[in-house]
C-alpha cells in the first residue's frame, strides 16, 4: 500500500531535543481553546507549547509518567498517569493539580491510558489497558463533578488504548493495540455500554491513538511501524503517511486536530509532529 501523502507533508512543529524545559518522549497531545498544544513527559510533566511553536512551558508535574490527556469545556485538563495508576485533573487557570480518580470502592484502575470527555453526559471515559499480555477490562466512566465512577465496559479488551467519540456522541471508539483492531462501543440512551462491535481488525500495525475529522474519517497513529492511516466511514483504509526511518514520525502515539492540522506525539523522540490533512478536525468537548 503506497502512502497518499509524501513524508515531506509531515513536519516538526516543536523540537524539544534541547529546549528548556526539555521535552522528553511525549506520549500524548491535546489542543486547548486558544490553539496551544499540550503534551506530557516521561516524568509526569504536563507541558504547554505556544500555538506558533515558539515556546514551551512546564505547567505541572505528577512525578509519574503522563499518558493520555484531554480537555473539558471549562479548560480543565485530565491526565492519565502510568506510575500513579490515577487520573489527575489540572485547573489550567490556577495550575492546581489534583487526583481526580483512581477507580471505585470495588476495584482500582490498573493502567489508565486515555481520557475522553463526554460533555453531553457530563462524564469522563478512561481506557484501562490492564496488561500487555493478558486481555482484561476495559473502560471506566466517571462523573466530572464528583469524580465518582465505576467500570463502564467490563468485558475483556486486548490493551485498551486511545479512544474517540463519534460526532453523534453515541459511540465510543476504542483502540485495542495488541489485538491489532479498533472496536466500537454503543452508548445507550441511559448512558450504559452496549455490546462491543469490531470496526477494524487485522491492522498491519500496532494502533495507538485515534482522532476524527469533521467528515468522520478516522485517523490512526501507529506506534509500530511509524505511520498514520486514514479510515473512511465505510471502513476503507488508506495509508496516509509512512516513515520507514522513524524520524519525523517516531512511534507516534496520541493525535489531535487543530483546524486542518493533525498533531502527533512521538514517544520515540523529543518532538511534536504536524501534518496538514486538508480536512477540519472534530472538537468534541
What does the alpha-carbon distance between residue 220 and residue 229 come to, in Å, rounded to a whole number? 5
% of residues, the chain, pLDDT over 90: 94
Res. 284: pLDDT tops 70: no
The answer to whether residues 184 and 160 touch, using CB atoms and an 8 Å cutoff, is no
Strand partners, 71: 77
The answer to whether residues 238 and 4 touch, using CB atoms and an 8 Å cutoff, is yes
Strand partners, 117: 124
Global pTM reads 0.97
The answer to whether residues 77 and 44 touch, using CB atoms and an 8 Å cutoff, is no
Res. 44: pLDDT tops 60: yes
Query: Which pLDDT tens digit goes with each residue over 196-221?
Result: 999 999 999 999 999 999 999 999 99
The answer to whether residues 223 and 253 touch, using CB atoms and an 8 Å cutoff, is yes
What spatial distance separates the first Cα and last Cα of the chain, rounded to whole Å?
A: 35
Q: What is the mean pLDDT of the chain?
A: 96
Query: Which pLDDT tens digit goes with each residue over 54-112?
Result: 999 999 999 999 999 999 999 999 999 999 999 999 999 999 999 999 999 999 999 99
Burial class for 2, CB neighbours closer than 10 Å (0-12, 13-18, 19+): exposed
User: Which residue ranges make up each domain of the chain?
Assistant: 7-101+113-276
Rg, C-alpha atoms of the chain: 17
Place of cell 513527559: 41
The per-residue pLDDT for 283 is 62
Query: Which pLDDT tens digit goes with each residue over 129-162?
Result: 999 889 999 999 999 999 999 999 999 999 999 9
**Can you read off the three cell numbers belonging to residue 154?**
467490563
Considering only the top CATH level, what class is 7-101+113-276? mainly beta
Amino acid at each position: 500500500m503506497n502512502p497518499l501523502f509524501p513524508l515531506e507533508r509531515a513536519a516538526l512543529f516543536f523540537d524539544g531535543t534541547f529546549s528548556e524545559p526539555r521535552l522528553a518522549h511525549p506520549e500524548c497531545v491535546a489542543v486547548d481553546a486558544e490553539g496551544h498544544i499540550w503534551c506530557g513527559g516521561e516524568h509526569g510533566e504536563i507541558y504547554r507549547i505556544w500555538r506558533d511553536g515558539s515556546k514551551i512551558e512546564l505547567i505541572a508535574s505528577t512525578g509519574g509518567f503522563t499518558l493520555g490527556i484531554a480537555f473539558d469545556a471549562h479548560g480543565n485538563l485530565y491526565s492519565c498517569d502510568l506510575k500513579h495508576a490515577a487520573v489527575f485533573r489540572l485547573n489550567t487557570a490556577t495550575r492546581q493539580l489534583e487526583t481526580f480518580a483512581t477507580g471505585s470502592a470495588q476495584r482500582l484502575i490498573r493502567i489508565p491510558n486515555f481520557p475522553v470527555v463526554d460533555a453531553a453526559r457530563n462524564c469522563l471515559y478512561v481506557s484501562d489497558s490492564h496488561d500487555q499480555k493478558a486481555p482484561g477490562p476495559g473502560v471506566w466512566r466517571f462523573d466530572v463533578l464528583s469524580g465518582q465512577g465505576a467500570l463502564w465496559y467490563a468485558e475483556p479488551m486486548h490493551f485498551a488504548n486511545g479512544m474517540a467519540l463519534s460526532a453523534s456522541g453515541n459511540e465510543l471508539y476504542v483502540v485495542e493495540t495488541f489485538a491489532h483492531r479498533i472496536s466500537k462501543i454503543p452508548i445507550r440512551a441511559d448512558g450504559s455500554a452496549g455490546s462491543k462491535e469490531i470496526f477494524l481488525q487485522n491492522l498491519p500495525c500496532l494502533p495507538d491513538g485515534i482522532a476524527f475529522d469533521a467528515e468522520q474519517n478516522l485517523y490512526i497513529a501507529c506506534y509500530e511501524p511509524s505511520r498514520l492511516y486514514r479510515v473512511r466511514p465505510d471502513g476503507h483504509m488508506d495509508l496516509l503517511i509512512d516513515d520507514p526511518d522513524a524520524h519525523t514520525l517516531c512511534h507516534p502515539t496520541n493525535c489531535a486536530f487543530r483546524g486542518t492540522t493533525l498533531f502527533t506525539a512521538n514517544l520515540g523522540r523529543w518532538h511534536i509532529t504536524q501534518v496538514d490533512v486538508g480536512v477540519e478536525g472534530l472538537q468534541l468537548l
